[in-house]
Amino acid sequence: MERWQYNSDSSVALLLCTMDIQPYMYEPYASSTDDDSTSGDSEEEAELNAHQMRLGNTNWCLCGKCVSAEAFEECVCCKEIGPINTKKETDAPITGHLQCIVEHPGFTTNCLDVWALQMAYENTPKKYRKANATVNERYRHTGYRNCTKWIWGYLGKNNRVVLPACVVKAIRDKFPSTQYVGFKYPKL
C-alpha cells in the first residue's frame, strides 16, 4: 500500500498559483531617503511613479465602477485581480458575462445582504470584532471579510489582500460612515 506524503514545496506553490499571490506584492516601498540606494532605483522609482499616477483619477479602472482612493495601493480594479477574474469566468455559465464583480449575484448575497452579514458577524471570533462599533461599521467589516473569503478563501492570520476599489465602493455605499480607515498592513 502506497502512503501519501505531504510535500510542502508543491503545496505552497499550488496555493500561490491559485491565489495569484506574488512574493512581496503587499510590502511597502522604501522611501527615497534610504542610504543603500543603487543605480537600479530608477526602475523602482518608475514603478512608484506609475502607482502614484493612479491617485486622483480613475483612468486605471477597467470595469467602470471604481472610484479614486486615498492610497495608491487601493487604486486597483477587479479586472486586475486574477482570482476575481477566475471567479467571474467560472460562474459565467450561471451569471453570464459580468463587467464587474459587484454585478455578481454572489457578491450581493455574501457582501451586501444584511441577513448574511449578521450571521457571518456572529461567526466572527470576538478577538476580531471592534468593541463599540456602529452597525454600519460591523456590516462593512464583515462585508470585506466575506468578500475576501468568497474570492480567496481563508488567508490565515495577518495575511491580507487589497480589495478592488469597486468592491470597497459598493460596500461603503450600502453601509456609509462619516470616516473610513482604508487598507492597513498587518502589525509585525
pLDDT the model gives residue 4: 46
How wide is the angle at C-alpha 163 spanned by C-alphas 162 and 164, nearest 5°? 115
pLDDT the model gives residue 81: 92
Determine the number of helices (DSSP H) and then strands (DSSP E) in the chain: 7, 0
Residue 5, all three cell numbers:
506524503
CA 169 to CA 54: how far, in whole Å? 16
The pTM (predicted TM-score) of the whole model is 0.69
- Residue 66 · residue 58 · CB < 8 Å: yes
pLDDT the model gives residue 6: 47
Task: For the chain, state the CA radius of gyration.
Answer: 19
Burial degree of 151 (CB within 10 A; 0-12, 13-18, 19+): buried
Burial degree of 13 (CB within 10 A; 0-12, 13-18, 19+): exposed
Regions of the chain short of the pLDDT cut 50: 1-4, 6, 8, 14-15, 37
In tens, the pLDDT along 163-187 reads: 999 999 999 999 988 776 666 656 6
Q: Domain segments of the chain: what residues?
A: 9-21+51-174
- Residue 58 · residue 78 · CB < 8 Å: no
